[in-house]
Chains A and B, each alone.
Chain A
Amino acid sequence: MVTKQYHEVRDPIHIFVRLDSDERRILDSPPVQRLRHVHQLAMSYLVYPGATHKRFEHALGIMELAGRVFDVVTSDSNLHPSIWTTVPEIGRRDQRDYWRKVLRMAALCHDIGHLPFSHAAEKELLPNDWSHERISKELILSEDLKSIWHGMIPPMDPMHVAKIAVGKKEFGDTEFSTWEAVLSELITGDVLGVDRMDYLLRDSHHTGVAYGRFDHYRLIDTMRLLPASQQSDEPAVGIEIGGLHSAEALLLARYYMFMQVYHHQVRMAYDFHLQQFLQSWLSNGHLSTDLDDHQQLTDNEVLAAISKAAKEPSAPGNEPASRIMNRKHFKPVYTQTRQDREAYDDPLTAIAQACVENYGADKVHKSEYHQNTTVPDFPVVDSTGRVVSAYGISDVLQQIPRVEVGRVLIDPDLADEAKGWIEGQKHEILSRA
């Protein structure tokens, strides 16, 4: 009997995801299997009922796209002349298969450190200097997975996988080769990373919010490794100019999905109540960074605990649990505008503080999100071979607004009164601040 060397998994976004037996072993490992029980979008299913998809299928999706992108950017006919010198690894054809596999493995393991309910639980609940990326790194380098990496033929260096999976930021002074930095950018890049490509398409599909779609086939087909700019020979991930519209569409999709889905006002309220519950329920109010503890905790355990606590008035976390189970979430009473930000110094904090003084700290929550990237930019090679800045030539990229969201949320029983109060007092509150 012939042992199957390649396996297929059906996927609603990419139709089929194919993986070899080594990749199947990593897929079957406990850290990756755990992702079957971690929601991709936390409690967004309470807003968009279809958003029940998990990190597991997203991991498969990133792996699939990573392989496709690698094949395009390393194809000899797509290589910019300078890349042969600036990325010497490109010329070692015997090593290309190895690095392709490393990239796909890194993509598969990129999110294994995620906590229950993904980003919702991370903020405030991990000790300083810890993040899900750091946990991913530790898991990739752990003894459990090392035995799989070393058992491959040829053996895979887990440090290669870890560096590419989580990127430079988690590795401090550890040296990254240019090649490793470029491969990591293919997964984690702010603009052209496959992590973002997959989650936009997948989240759009499952929520039913159409604005997350873009032509990823065209975009991937035009991706190239290029000098970062006219003024730098350092390689970066870019595109040839035929893909500019699809790149613009991706960035517009990101903006709309951030505004409509990821920072939906009700979703943000549930994130807050989830944090409140976890702080009461967890011993010491923090999530453990011990890898074994981490592996035991998924959304299942947290949801069971929320359901139980909601029914027991004396249980720790009863109030936030009740809010989650009974849809008594906080409601927005103030949304910060650009006009307010231009006219006043930190209007969101001023309004939130005034509400706290008027209604009590336990009835008010300040919810804010600041885009943590500066400007969407990447190199573009035009029809003459000249490398230019995407931001410099794209009217669309120059106009896409930053995602800056600020709201004051309040107990639903006080919301109507608070809205009227803020409307009447707003100018005085902001002028005083």
Chain B
Amino acid sequence: MGPMSRRVRRAILSQLVEAMHGAGSWVGETHIQKSVYFMQGLLGIQMGYSFVLYKHGPYSFDLRNELSAMMGSLELDVEPRPPYGPSFVLGPRGGRDIELPFQVGDAIRFVGENLSIRHTRELERLSTALLLQTANRHMTAQEVASLMNRIKPHIPVPDARSAVEQVAELRAKMTASQEPGMP
């Protein structure tokens, strides 16, 4: 894992869960996984989780272990949201305020407002597009879309292409929202 302390990482995750609820997301584990991936991969917040292409796109076993540990220490809990499944909420010992750098707060807000409310299907496509684009910078958008369909046959090429284009739009939106000097 990277240099960010466990305390700070967990504070970010707790505040992210709160922000996602505030934005109207039902905060399943997939939502958290993809939101953290975007925070690292798109917004440059280096939380130190390593991601591989697995369940619903980029997936971090480290992050899963961290979420599990936070459930064990009662910082996080889950509530059922029929028929969707478990929704993460703050636990009895969660939500303790730690002041985070403003860049992190901005990143949490951006992810909450632009990504967390989307359906799992959309998050999978967007995050997979971002991962494959990042790993294959020499490829055109169409090539990335074809690659996405080959690896994930349940994502048709036109949907993959649309995801690649949406990621480009998100990058542009993120750049436009940043103040000078931010990472």
What is the interface of chain A, defined by CB distance below 8 A to chain B? 82, 85-88, 168-169, 172-173, 175-178, 181, 228-235, 338, 341-342, 345-346, 370-375, 377, 386, 388-393, 398, 402, 404
In the complex, which residues of chain B have a beta carbon less than 8 angstroms from the beta carbon of A371? 68, 71-72
Contact B54 A232 (CB under 8 A): no
Given contacts A168-B52, A232-B120, A377-B85, 18 further A-B contacts (CB under 8 A): A85-B153, A86-B153, A172-B52, A176-B54, A181-B54, A232-B30, A232-B121, A232-B124, A234-B154, A235-B154, A338-B74, A341-B74, A370-B69, A374-B78, A375-B78, A388-B82, A392-B80, A392-B82
List chain A residues, Cβ under 8 A from B30.
232
Number of B residues, CB within 8 Å of A = 36
Question: B56-92: which residues lie under 8 A (CB-CB) from chain A?
Answer: 56, 61, 64-65, 67-69, 71-74, 78, 80-86, 92
29 pairs, CB–CB < 8 Å, chain A vs chain B? A86-B154, A175-B53, A178-B152, A181-B55, A228-B56, A228-B120, A230-B83, A231-B119, A232-B120, A233-B154, A233-B155, A234-B55, A234-B154, A341-B73, A342-B92, A372-B68, A373-B68, A374-B29, A375-B29, A377-B86, A389-B83, A389-B86, A391-B85, A391-B86, A392-B80, A392-B85, A392-B86, A393-B82, A402-B72
Decide if A234 touches B152 in the complex (CB within 8 Å): yes
B93 part of interface (Cβ distance < 8 Å): yes
Alpha-carbon gap, A173 to B93, bound state (A): 35
> Which of A85, A172, A177, A375 is the most central at the interface, judged by chain B CB atoms within 10 Å of its CB?
A375
Flag if B54 contacts A374 (CB, 8 Å).
no
The answer on a CB contact under 8 Å between A342 and B121 is: no
Which A residues are CB-close (under 8 A) to B98?
A: none
Q: Quick one: which of B69, B120, B154 has the most chain A CB within 10 A?
A: B154
A88 to B52, CA, bound (A): 22
Cα distance, A402 to B155, chains bound together (Å): 35
- Name the prevailing secondary structure of the A interface residues: mixed
Q: A175-B53, A402-B72, A404-B72 are in contact. Are A374 and B85 (CB under 8 A)?
A: no
Closest to A377 in B: B85
Given A232-B121, A402-B71, residue A388 in contact with residue B83 (CB < 8 A)? yes
**B4 proximal to A (CB < 8 A):** no
Q: Contacts A176-B54, A370-B68 known; A234 to B124 CB distance under 8 Å?
A: yes
Q: At the interface, yes or no: B151 with Cβ under 8 Å from chain A?
A: yes
Q: Which residues of B contact A (CB under 8 A)?
A: 29-30, 52-56, 61, 64-65, 67-69, 71-74, 78, 80-86, 92-93, 119-121, 124, 151-155
Assembly CA distance A393 to B83 (angstroms): 6
The 3 closest A-B pairs by CB, nearest first: A389-B85, A86-B154, A231-B120
Least distance between B148 CB and chain A CB atoms (Å): 12
Q: Are B84 and A178 in contact (CB under 8 A)?
A: no
The interface residues of chain A lying within 8 Å CB-to-CB of B92 are 342
Interface hub of A172, A235, A372 (most chain B Cβ within 10 A): A372
A232 with B56, Cβ < 8 A, contacts A391-B85, A392-B84 known:
yes
Determine how close the nearest CB of chain A comes to the CB of B127; give it in whole angstroms: 12
A234 and B78 CA atoms in complex are apart in Å by: 23
Chain A residue at smallest Cβ distance from B70: A374
Complex CA gap A177/B54 in Å reads 9
Contact of B61 among A169, A229, A389, A390 (CB under 8 A): A169
From known contacts A86-B153, A342-B92, A373-B68, infer whether A230 and B84 are also in contact, taking CB-CB under 8 Å: yes
Instruction: Tell me, in angstroms, the Cα distance from A251 to B67 when the chains sit together.
Output: 20
